[in-house]
Amino acid sequence: MKKLLLFLVILGLMTASLGALAQQEVTLSVLWFNDANESEVFEDTVKDYLEQNPHVKLDMQVIAFSEFEQKLKLMISGGNAPDLARLPTALLPVFLPTLEPVDGYVDDIEAVKAGFMPAMMAYALSPDGKMVAYPTEATGNGMLVNKTAFDKAGIDVAALSQEWTWAQWEEAARKVIDANDNIKYGLAVDFTPHRFSTILYQFGGRMLNEDLTAVAFNNPKTIEMLSWFKRMHDEELIPKSVWMGSEKANELFQAGIAAAHIGGSWNINGYSKDITDFEWMAVRNPKGEINSSVPGGKFIASFQQSPNKQEAQKLMAWFSDATHNAMYCAGTFNLTSRVDAEVNYTANKENFDTFAEDLKVTPAYAAQEWNSPLVGKASAIIREQVVQMLMGNLTPEQAAAEIDAQAAALAQ
Protein backbone atom coordinates (compact mmCIF):
# COMPACT_ATOMS: atom_id res chain seq x y z
CA MET A 1 0.00 0.00 0.00
CA LYS A 2 2.84 2.33 0.99
CA LYS A 3 4.63 1.50 -2.23
CA LEU A 4 1.53 2.23 -4.25
CA LEU A 5 1.06 5.55 -2.44
CA LEU A 6 4.69 6.48 -3.03
CA PHE A 7 4.39 5.55 -6.69
CA LEU A 8 1.29 7.70 -7.08
CA VAL A 9 2.95 10.67 -5.36
CA ILE A 10 6.01 10.41 -7.63
CA LEU A 11 3.77 10.05 -10.68
CA GLY A 12 1.80 13.10 -9.61
CA LEU A 13 4.93 15.15 -9.07
CA MET A 14 6.35 14.13 -12.43
CA THR A 15 3.11 15.00 -14.22
CA ALA A 16 2.92 18.36 -12.46
CA SER A 17 6.53 19.26 -13.22
CA LEU A 18 6.17 18.16 -16.85
CA GLY A 19 3.01 20.25 -17.07
CA ALA A 20 4.81 23.25 -15.61
CA LEU A 21 7.67 22.81 -18.05
CA ALA A 22 5.25 22.58 -20.93
CA GLN A 23 3.53 25.75 -19.74
CA GLN A 24 6.81 27.60 -19.45
CA GLU A 25 8.08 26.92 -22.96
CA VAL A 26 6.04 29.10 -25.29
CA THR A 27 6.75 29.69 -28.95
CA LEU A 28 4.71 32.58 -30.28
CA SER A 29 3.98 32.32 -33.98
CA VAL A 30 4.04 35.74 -35.64
CA LEU A 31 2.72 36.46 -39.14
CA TRP A 32 4.28 39.61 -40.55
CA PHE A 33 4.66 41.58 -43.77
CA ASN A 34 7.19 44.27 -44.54
CA ASP A 35 6.90 47.70 -46.11
CA ALA A 36 10.64 48.08 -45.62
CA ASN A 37 12.54 46.70 -42.62
CA GLU A 38 9.72 46.34 -40.06
CA SER A 39 10.24 42.66 -39.22
CA GLU A 40 13.93 43.23 -38.42
CA VAL A 41 13.15 46.24 -36.24
CA PHE A 42 10.32 44.36 -34.49
CA GLU A 43 12.73 41.55 -33.61
CA ASP A 44 15.34 44.05 -32.42
CA THR A 45 12.74 45.86 -30.30
CA VAL A 46 11.50 42.72 -28.54
CA LYS A 47 14.99 41.29 -28.06
CA ASP A 48 15.13 42.60 -24.46
CA TYR A 49 11.72 41.11 -23.70
CA LEU A 50 12.82 37.70 -24.94
CA GLU A 51 16.00 37.90 -22.84
CA GLN A 52 13.98 38.77 -19.75
CA ASN A 53 11.49 35.99 -20.56
CA PRO A 54 13.64 33.11 -21.78
CA HIS A 55 10.66 30.74 -21.86
CA VAL A 56 9.21 32.78 -24.74
CA LYS A 57 10.45 32.20 -28.26
CA LEU A 58 9.33 33.78 -31.52
CA ASP A 59 8.55 31.96 -34.73
CA MET A 60 8.49 34.79 -37.29
CA GLN A 61 6.87 34.16 -40.64
CA VAL A 62 7.41 37.12 -42.97
CA ILE A 63 5.45 37.00 -46.22
CA ALA A 64 4.76 39.38 -49.09
CA PHE A 65 1.88 41.77 -48.47
CA SER A 66 0.22 40.62 -51.71
CA GLU A 67 -0.21 37.15 -50.17
CA PHE A 68 -0.87 38.28 -46.62
CA GLU A 69 -4.67 38.53 -46.57
CA GLN A 70 -5.23 35.19 -48.27
CA LYS A 71 -2.65 33.42 -46.11
CA LEU A 72 -4.11 34.73 -42.87
CA LYS A 73 -7.67 33.89 -43.95
CA LEU A 74 -6.63 30.36 -44.82
CA MET A 75 -4.78 29.96 -41.51
CA ILE A 76 -7.83 31.13 -39.56
CA SER A 77 -10.34 29.09 -41.56
CA GLY A 78 -8.10 26.05 -41.01
CA GLY A 79 -8.05 26.68 -37.23
CA ASN A 80 -4.35 27.57 -37.25
CA ALA A 81 -4.36 31.30 -36.56
CA PRO A 82 -0.96 32.70 -35.55
CA ASP A 83 -0.47 33.99 -32.02
CA LEU A 84 0.29 37.47 -33.32
CA ALA A 85 -0.02 39.27 -36.63
CA ARG A 86 0.77 42.66 -38.08
CA LEU A 87 -2.37 44.12 -39.65
CA PRO A 88 -2.84 47.20 -41.84
CA THR A 89 -5.85 49.49 -41.42
CA ALA A 90 -7.68 48.06 -44.41
CA LEU A 91 -7.53 44.50 -43.06
CA LEU A 92 -8.44 45.28 -39.48
CA PRO A 93 -12.22 45.35 -40.13
CA VAL A 94 -11.90 42.18 -42.21
CA PHE A 95 -10.31 40.17 -39.39
CA LEU A 96 -12.14 41.93 -36.55
CA PRO A 97 -14.44 38.97 -35.71
CA THR A 98 -11.40 36.73 -35.16
CA LEU A 99 -9.32 39.03 -32.94
CA GLU A 100 -8.84 38.58 -29.19
CA PRO A 101 -9.75 41.78 -27.29
CA VAL A 102 -7.06 43.38 -25.16
CA ASP A 103 -9.71 44.15 -22.51
CA GLY A 104 -9.25 41.71 -19.67
CA TYR A 105 -5.51 41.31 -20.15
CA VAL A 106 -4.53 44.77 -18.81
CA ASP A 107 -5.31 46.41 -15.48
CA ASP A 108 -6.62 49.70 -16.83
CA ILE A 109 -7.90 49.46 -20.39
CA GLU A 110 -8.95 53.11 -20.50
CA ALA A 111 -5.39 54.21 -19.65
CA VAL A 112 -4.06 51.96 -22.43
CA LYS A 113 -6.53 53.44 -24.94
CA ALA A 114 -5.65 56.98 -23.89
CA GLY A 115 -2.02 56.36 -24.85
CA PHE A 116 -2.87 56.29 -28.56
CA MET A 117 -4.06 58.88 -31.09
CA PRO A 118 -7.87 58.94 -31.13
CA ALA A 119 -7.96 58.37 -34.93
CA MET A 120 -5.78 55.27 -34.56
CA MET A 121 -7.75 54.00 -31.60
CA ALA A 122 -10.97 54.42 -33.62
CA TYR A 123 -9.63 51.78 -36.00
CA ALA A 124 -8.64 49.47 -33.14
CA LEU A 125 -12.06 49.33 -31.47
CA SER A 126 -14.73 46.74 -32.19
CA PRO A 127 -18.34 47.96 -32.62
CA ASP A 128 -18.95 47.15 -28.93
CA GLY A 129 -16.00 49.34 -27.88
CA LYS A 130 -13.45 46.62 -27.12
CA MET A 131 -9.83 47.22 -28.06
CA VAL A 132 -8.89 44.44 -30.48
CA ALA A 133 -5.39 45.54 -31.51
CA TYR A 134 -2.51 47.78 -30.49
CA PRO A 135 -1.76 50.55 -33.02
CA THR A 136 1.95 50.45 -33.86
CA GLU A 137 2.68 53.11 -36.47
CA ALA A 138 0.45 55.76 -38.01
CA THR A 139 0.56 56.39 -41.73
CA GLY A 140 -0.72 59.10 -44.00
CA ASN A 141 -0.91 59.52 -47.74
CA GLY A 142 0.96 62.43 -49.18
CA MET A 143 2.88 63.84 -52.09
CA LEU A 144 6.60 63.30 -52.59
CA VAL A 145 8.28 65.40 -55.26
CA ASN A 146 11.49 65.37 -57.26
CA LYS A 147 12.91 68.65 -55.92
CA THR A 148 15.80 68.63 -58.38
CA ALA A 149 13.39 68.57 -61.33
CA PHE A 150 11.25 71.37 -59.87
CA ASP A 151 14.42 73.43 -59.24
CA LYS A 152 15.47 72.94 -62.86
CA ALA A 153 12.09 74.32 -63.96
CA GLY A 154 12.69 77.35 -61.75
CA ILE A 155 9.96 76.40 -59.29
CA ASP A 156 10.50 76.69 -55.56
CA VAL A 157 8.32 73.69 -54.75
CA ALA A 158 8.80 74.04 -50.97
CA ALA A 159 7.31 77.54 -51.05
CA LEU A 160 4.63 76.86 -53.67
CA SER A 161 3.34 73.75 -51.91
CA GLN A 162 2.75 75.49 -48.57
CA GLU A 163 -0.77 76.09 -49.86
CA TRP A 164 -1.37 75.00 -53.42
CA THR A 165 -4.35 73.82 -55.42
CA TRP A 166 -4.56 71.04 -57.99
CA ALA A 167 -4.73 73.70 -60.72
CA GLN A 168 -1.43 75.20 -59.49
CA TRP A 169 0.09 71.73 -59.28
CA GLU A 170 -0.96 71.04 -62.90
CA GLU A 171 0.61 74.26 -64.14
CA ALA A 172 3.83 73.52 -62.27
CA ALA A 173 3.90 69.89 -63.45
CA ARG A 174 3.69 70.95 -67.11
CA LYS A 175 6.65 73.32 -66.60
CA VAL A 176 8.66 70.54 -64.89
CA ILE A 177 8.00 68.14 -67.78
CA ASP A 178 9.07 70.80 -70.30
CA ALA A 179 12.24 71.66 -68.39
CA ASN A 180 13.49 68.10 -67.79
CA ASP A 181 14.27 65.63 -70.59
CA ASN A 182 13.86 62.54 -68.43
CA ILE A 183 10.67 63.61 -66.63
CA LYS A 184 7.73 62.39 -68.69
CA TYR A 185 4.88 62.65 -66.20
CA GLY A 186 3.73 65.02 -63.50
CA LEU A 187 2.43 62.46 -61.03
CA ALA A 188 2.36 58.72 -60.36
CA VAL A 189 -0.44 57.42 -58.12
CA ASP A 190 -0.22 53.96 -56.53
CA PHE A 191 -2.61 51.43 -58.10
CA THR A 192 -4.77 51.13 -55.03
CA PRO A 193 -8.09 52.70 -54.00
CA HIS A 194 -6.42 53.77 -50.75
CA ARG A 195 -4.06 56.25 -52.42
CA PHE A 196 -6.67 57.09 -55.08
CA SER A 197 -9.09 58.06 -52.31
CA THR A 198 -6.62 60.71 -51.11
CA ILE A 199 -7.37 62.78 -54.22
CA LEU A 200 -11.03 61.76 -54.10
CA TYR A 201 -11.43 63.22 -50.61
CA GLN A 202 -9.55 66.38 -51.68
CA PHE A 203 -12.14 66.87 -54.42
CA GLY A 204 -14.87 66.55 -51.77
CA GLY A 205 -15.91 63.08 -52.92
CA ARG A 206 -17.04 60.12 -50.84
CA MET A 207 -16.94 56.37 -51.37
CA LEU A 208 -19.74 55.36 -48.98
CA ASN A 209 -23.12 56.80 -48.13
CA GLU A 210 -23.61 58.98 -45.03
CA ASP A 211 -24.37 56.10 -42.65
CA LEU A 212 -21.53 53.99 -44.13
CA THR A 213 -23.87 51.13 -45.04
CA ALA A 214 -23.38 51.09 -48.82
CA VAL A 215 -20.83 51.99 -51.49
CA ALA A 216 -21.99 55.28 -53.05
CA PHE A 217 -19.61 56.47 -55.77
CA ASN A 218 -22.45 57.96 -57.73
CA ASN A 219 -22.23 61.49 -56.31
CA PRO A 220 -21.22 64.72 -58.11
CA LYS A 221 -17.90 65.31 -56.32
CA THR A 222 -16.68 61.75 -56.80
CA ILE A 223 -17.65 61.89 -60.48
CA GLU A 224 -15.80 65.21 -60.79
CA MET A 225 -12.68 63.56 -59.41
CA LEU A 226 -13.09 60.56 -61.74
CA SER A 227 -13.32 62.96 -64.70
CA TRP A 228 -10.18 64.78 -63.55
CA PHE A 229 -8.32 61.47 -63.13
CA LYS A 230 -9.31 60.46 -66.68
CA ARG A 231 -8.19 63.81 -68.09
CA MET A 232 -4.82 63.55 -66.34
CA HIS A 233 -4.28 60.13 -67.98
CA ASP A 234 -5.48 61.32 -71.39
CA GLU A 235 -3.20 64.36 -71.26
CA GLU A 236 -0.31 62.16 -70.07
CA LEU A 237 0.27 64.01 -66.84
CA ILE A 238 -0.26 60.65 -65.08
CA PRO A 239 1.31 57.52 -66.68
CA LYS A 240 -1.08 54.86 -67.99
CA SER A 241 1.39 52.13 -67.14
CA VAL A 242 0.51 52.18 -63.42
CA TRP A 243 -3.28 51.90 -63.42
CA MET A 244 -3.61 50.27 -66.83
CA GLY A 245 -0.34 48.32 -66.81
CA SER A 246 1.78 46.67 -64.17
CA GLU A 247 4.43 49.28 -63.39
CA LYS A 248 4.78 50.62 -59.87
CA ALA A 249 4.28 54.31 -59.10
CA ASN A 250 7.20 54.40 -56.66
CA GLU A 251 9.54 52.82 -59.23
CA LEU A 252 8.62 55.47 -61.83
CA PHE A 253 9.30 58.18 -59.26
CA GLN A 254 12.59 56.62 -58.20
CA ALA A 255 13.63 56.25 -61.84
CA GLY A 256 13.10 59.99 -62.30
CA ILE A 257 10.30 59.49 -64.84
CA ALA A 258 7.49 61.00 -62.72
CA ALA A 259 7.91 64.39 -61.04
CA ALA A 260 5.76 63.46 -58.03
CA HIS A 261 4.30 60.44 -56.29
CA ILE A 262 1.18 60.15 -54.17
CA GLY A 263 2.10 57.41 -51.76
CA GLY A 264 2.14 56.42 -48.13
CA SER A 265 4.43 57.83 -45.44
CA TRP A 266 6.32 54.50 -45.41
CA ASN A 267 7.89 55.56 -48.72
CA ILE A 268 10.02 58.08 -46.83
CA ASN A 269 12.03 55.20 -45.41
CA GLY A 270 12.51 53.50 -48.79
CA TYR A 271 13.35 56.69 -50.67
CA SER A 272 15.92 57.68 -48.04
CA LYS A 273 17.86 54.55 -48.92
CA ASP A 274 17.13 54.11 -52.60
CA ILE A 275 17.12 57.57 -54.20
CA THR A 276 20.62 58.85 -54.81
CA ASP A 277 20.27 60.50 -58.24
CA PHE A 278 18.16 63.48 -57.22
CA GLU A 279 16.92 65.43 -54.24
CA TRP A 280 13.36 64.67 -53.12
CA MET A 281 11.04 65.94 -50.41
CA ALA A 282 7.54 65.54 -49.01
CA VAL A 283 5.18 68.44 -49.76
CA ARG A 284 1.65 69.30 -48.67
CA ASN A 285 -1.08 67.63 -50.71
CA PRO A 286 -2.62 70.05 -53.25
CA LYS A 287 -6.02 71.32 -52.23
CA GLY A 288 -9.20 70.54 -54.13
CA GLU A 289 -12.34 71.46 -52.30
CA ILE A 290 -10.56 70.57 -49.06
CA ASN A 291 -7.15 69.42 -47.85
CA SER A 292 -6.97 65.75 -46.99
CA SER A 293 -4.76 62.78 -46.44
CA VAL A 294 -5.98 59.28 -45.59
CA PRO A 295 -5.16 58.26 -42.04
CA GLY A 296 -4.09 54.72 -41.63
CA GLY A 297 -1.58 52.65 -39.89
CA LYS A 298 -0.44 49.28 -38.82
CA PHE A 299 -1.48 47.28 -35.80
CA ILE A 300 -0.42 44.23 -33.89
CA ALA A 301 -3.13 41.84 -32.77
CA SER A 302 -3.71 38.45 -31.23
CA PHE A 303 -6.39 35.93 -32.23
CA GLN A 304 -9.17 34.12 -30.40
CA GLN A 305 -7.82 30.83 -31.79
CA SER A 306 -4.34 31.47 -30.40
CA PRO A 307 -3.28 28.82 -27.88
CA ASN A 308 -0.92 31.34 -26.23
CA LYS A 309 -3.19 34.33 -25.76
CA GLN A 310 -1.79 35.31 -22.37
CA GLU A 311 1.84 35.41 -23.55
CA ALA A 312 0.87 37.05 -26.83
CA GLN A 313 -0.97 39.83 -24.99
CA LYS A 314 1.98 40.38 -22.63
CA LEU A 315 4.39 40.74 -25.53
CA MET A 316 2.05 43.12 -27.41
CA ALA A 317 1.62 45.33 -24.33
CA TRP A 318 5.39 45.51 -23.84
CA PHE A 319 6.10 46.20 -27.52
CA SER A 320 3.42 48.92 -27.64
CA ASP A 321 4.43 51.00 -24.63
CA ALA A 322 5.77 54.51 -25.27
CA THR A 323 9.47 53.56 -25.04
CA HIS A 324 9.38 50.56 -27.34
CA ASN A 325 6.93 52.14 -29.77
CA ALA A 326 9.34 55.08 -30.12
CA MET A 327 12.24 52.67 -30.75
CA TYR A 328 10.23 50.79 -33.37
CA CYS A 329 9.03 53.94 -35.16
CA ALA A 330 12.52 55.46 -35.18
CA GLY A 331 13.99 52.23 -36.58
CA THR A 332 11.33 51.86 -39.25
CA PHE A 333 11.06 55.60 -40.04
CA ASN A 334 7.35 55.70 -39.30
CA LEU A 335 5.00 58.11 -37.59
CA THR A 336 4.13 57.00 -34.09
CA SER A 337 0.54 56.10 -33.27
CA ARG A 338 1.04 57.05 -29.61
CA VAL A 339 0.43 60.47 -28.13
CA ASP A 340 3.28 60.16 -25.64
CA ALA A 341 6.15 58.62 -27.63
CA GLU A 342 9.22 60.77 -28.36
CA VAL A 343 10.60 59.47 -31.62
CA ASN A 344 14.17 60.45 -32.42
CA TYR A 345 14.42 60.12 -36.18
CA THR A 346 17.96 60.10 -37.46
CA ALA A 347 16.78 61.81 -40.66
CA ASN A 348 13.73 63.09 -42.53
CA LYS A 349 12.00 64.78 -39.60
CA GLU A 350 10.67 67.55 -41.89
CA ASN A 351 9.17 65.02 -44.27
CA PHE A 352 7.35 63.23 -41.45
CA ASP A 353 6.11 66.58 -40.15
CA THR A 354 4.68 67.42 -43.59
CA PHE A 355 2.70 64.16 -43.68
CA ALA A 356 1.53 64.82 -40.13
CA GLU A 357 0.28 68.31 -41.13
CA ASP A 358 -1.97 66.81 -43.80
CA LEU A 359 -3.25 64.22 -41.33
CA LYS A 360 -4.30 66.97 -38.95
CA VAL A 361 -6.68 68.53 -41.50
CA THR A 362 -8.09 65.24 -42.80
CA PRO A 363 -11.87 64.93 -42.29
CA ALA A 364 -13.07 62.24 -39.88
CA TYR A 365 -15.07 60.47 -42.57
CA ALA A 366 -11.85 59.44 -44.35
CA ALA A 367 -10.99 57.20 -41.39
CA GLN A 368 -14.60 56.11 -40.92
CA GLU A 369 -14.90 54.98 -44.54
CA TRP A 370 -11.65 53.04 -44.43
CA ASN A 371 -12.74 51.45 -41.16
CA SER A 372 -15.70 49.89 -42.96
CA PRO A 373 -15.23 46.33 -44.28
CA LEU A 374 -17.28 47.38 -47.33
CA VAL A 375 -14.42 49.45 -48.75
CA GLY A 376 -11.92 46.61 -48.39
CA LYS A 377 -14.26 44.13 -50.05
CA ALA A 378 -15.09 46.53 -52.89
CA SER A 379 -11.47 47.54 -53.53
CA ALA A 380 -10.96 45.23 -56.51
CA ILE A 381 -14.27 46.38 -58.03
CA ILE A 382 -13.30 50.05 -57.61
CA ARG A 383 -9.93 49.49 -59.27
CA GLU A 384 -11.44 47.61 -62.20
CA GLN A 385 -14.15 50.14 -62.95
CA VAL A 386 -11.76 53.10 -62.68
CA VAL A 387 -9.51 51.34 -65.21
CA GLN A 388 -12.51 50.64 -67.46
CA MET A 389 -13.14 54.39 -67.39
CA LEU A 390 -9.48 55.19 -68.12
CA MET A 391 -9.62 52.81 -71.10
CA GLY A 392 -12.63 54.70 -72.42
CA ASN A 393 -15.00 51.76 -71.99
CA LEU A 394 -17.12 53.67 -69.45
CA THR A 395 -17.85 57.32 -68.78
CA PRO A 396 -17.11 58.59 -65.25
CA GLU A 397 -20.85 58.49 -64.53
CA GLN A 398 -21.15 54.92 -65.80
CA ALA A 399 -18.06 53.83 -63.84
CA ALA A 400 -19.50 55.28 -60.62
CA ALA A 401 -22.86 53.60 -61.22
CA GLU A 402 -21.17 50.29 -62.05
CA ILE A 403 -19.08 50.40 -58.85
CA ASP A 404 -22.23 50.97 -56.79
CA ALA A 405 -24.13 48.20 -58.59
CA GLN A 406 -21.36 45.60 -58.28
CA ALA A 407 -20.62 46.51 -54.66
CA ALA A 408 -24.32 46.16 -53.83
CA ALA A 409 -24.03 42.46 -54.70
CA LEU A 410 -21.46 42.07 -51.90
CA ALA A 411 -24.14 42.78 -49.34
CA GLN A 412 -26.62 40.24 -50.78
Which residues bind to other proteins, rule: CB under 8 A? 69-70, 73, 76-77, 94-95, 97-98, 184, 239-241, 243-247, 251-252, 255, 257, 376-381, 384, 387-388, 390-391, 393, 406, 410
State which residue, 69 or 103, has the beta carbon closest to other proteins.
Answer: 69
**How many beta carbons lie within 10 A of that of residue 342, not counting itself?**
10
- At CB < 8 A and 24+ separation, what contacts does 153-157 make? 153/178, 153/179, 153/180, 154/179, 157/281, 157/283
Shortest distance, position 401 Cβ to other proteins, whole Å: 13
Running DSSP on this structure, what letter comes out for residue 247?
Answer: -
Instruction: Spell out the residues 6+ positions from residue 132 whose beta carbon is closer than 8 angstroms to its own.
Output: 92, 96, 99, 100, 101, 102, 124, 125, 126, 301
- Cα torsion through 236, 237, 243, 246, rounded to 10: 80
State which residue, 197 or 265, has the beta carbon closest to other proteins.
Answer: 197
State which residue, 94 or 317, has the beta carbon closest to other proteins.
Answer: 94
Shortest distance, position 87 Cβ to other proteins, whole Å: 14
State which residue, 38 or 402, has the beta carbon closest to other proteins.
Answer: 402
C-alpha distances out from residue 380 to 73, 407, 410, Å: 17, 10, 12
Shortest distance, position 412 Cβ to other proteins, whole Å: 8
Pick from 324, 298, 304, 302: which is nearest to 313 by CA?
302
State which residue, 56 or 215, has the beta carbon closest to other proteins.
Answer: 215
Shortest distance, position 279 Cβ to other proteins, whole Å: 21
State which residue, 276 or 412, has the beta carbon closest to other proteins.
Answer: 412
Shortest distance, position 248 Cβ to other proteins, whole Å: 9
Shortest distance, position 355 Cβ to other proteins, whole Å: 26
